Amino acid sequence: MTTLKTKRVLTDLCEGGLLPDARLAELEKVAARYAVAITPAMADLIDPADPHDPIARQFVPDLRELETSPEERGDPIGDDAHSPVEGVVHRYPDRVLLKAVNACAVYCRFCFRREMIGPGRGGLSPAALAAAVDYIRGNPQIWEVILSGGDPLILSARRVKDLVARLAAIGHVKVIRVHTRVPVVAPERISAALVRALRAQNKATFVVVHINHPRELTAQARAACARLVDAGIPILSQSVLLRGVNDDVETLGALMRALVECRIKPYYLHHADLAPGTAHLRTTIAKGQTLMRALRGRYSGLCQPAYVLDIPGGHGKSPIGPGYLRDGGEVVEDFNGRPHRYPPQQ
């Protein structure tokens, strides 16, 4: 049976069979600290009888979220250290992140901005948005603007169109990239009007969709993504490596194949960030590297994302995939780990 509304409070989860009534009281503390929202599209995918359901693991609160490890931090990738004006993160010379809104359609239990987003957090005020656009306009080295948040596609088509138009009017901005969960978790929002709003004349628009498990690519999600691609908007993916969700090669490979079949290029596989209360969802880097080797050996080159780590403290992303060269480049390993000699380089 299809649910009709986004579940935003724990009693909604109980009524929908996604959370036992007996756990309601203990999880109220989690919901008081971190936002909860599960859209109908995601709620319908959860099997309440499966205690290890990979969709539930991403969205249903867990008491372990109140356990903060010493290495975890409220701003794990150092956004604040690189924020010259409200809403802008300028970590790399040629691109900036513009956080136009501080809310999402769903709230992932592993979110690295979980201390900063949620219902009622709003977005940038008109004055703050104007200042952010002015900053971008005043820095000609900025070639790309990444719309993030929160999720920018929870905005109305009218507001998205206005935001894209403001950025498109800046001559040195050539690329507008949108990071979003919406095509997967609320595919009905990808309307013809919203697709039109994302396009800008003489600018390249890219959408990067966040998806972690192949079951998330429902027929409705595939259709929403197709509406974007058919309109000339390329889609890439970013996924987070999560314990109990996608940390086996069969699941990860199935996800990457499903993405490619939907004309979505796998882009990033993120090692989970050191956000508070997320230790139970993180794997080790060694586990991620092993999975990347297995992907390389079993699946098409189209299915290979870059395995990356956002270095804590705001130092940017670094690729952390397995290495294949040894002995100064004179030995190269194949995907099975077997060594092969390679002629010395002059």
Q: For residue 158, indicate whether it is catalytic.
A: no
Check if 108 is active-site.
yes
Rounded distance between C-alpha atoms, residue 221 and residue 44, angstroms? 13
Q: 268: which strand partners?
A: 238, 306
Q: Are 303 and 319 in contact (CB under 8 A)?
A: no
Which of 8, 92, 257, 265 is flagged as catalytic?
A: 92
From 7, 73, 91, 282, active-site residue: 91
Active-site position among 12, 75, 151, 310: 310
ω into 150 cis (within 30 of 0): yes
A 10 A CB-CB count for 52 gives: 9
Cα 32 to Cα 27: distance, rounded to the nearest angstrom: 9
111 is catalytic: yes
Annotated catalytic residue 113:
yes
User: One of 159, 174, 296, 317 is an active-site residue; which one?
Assistant: 317
Q: Is 104 a catalytic residue?
A: yes
Query: Which among 7, 53, 79, 104 is annotated as catalytic?
Result: 104
Q: Which of 109, 181, 273, 307 is catalytic?
A: 273
Q: For residue 62, which of 246, 255, 280, 209 has the smallest C-alpha distance?
A: 280
126-137 vs 157-168: helix crossing angle, rounded to 10: 30
Q: Please give the structure tokens belonging to residue 297.
A: 């050996």
The whole-angstrom separation of Cα 256 and Cα 271 is 16
Catalytic residue among 111, 225, 262, 303: 111
Kindly name the residue from 8, 23, 33, 95 that is annotated as catalytic.
Answer: 95
Question: Which token pair is 278?
Answer: 């997320």
User: Is residue 265 among the annotated active site residues?
Assistant: no
Among residues 7, 73, 113, 114, the one annotated as catalytic is: 113
Does 268 qualify as catalytic in the annotation? no
List the catalytic residues. 91-92, 95, 104, 108, 111, 113, 273, 310, 317
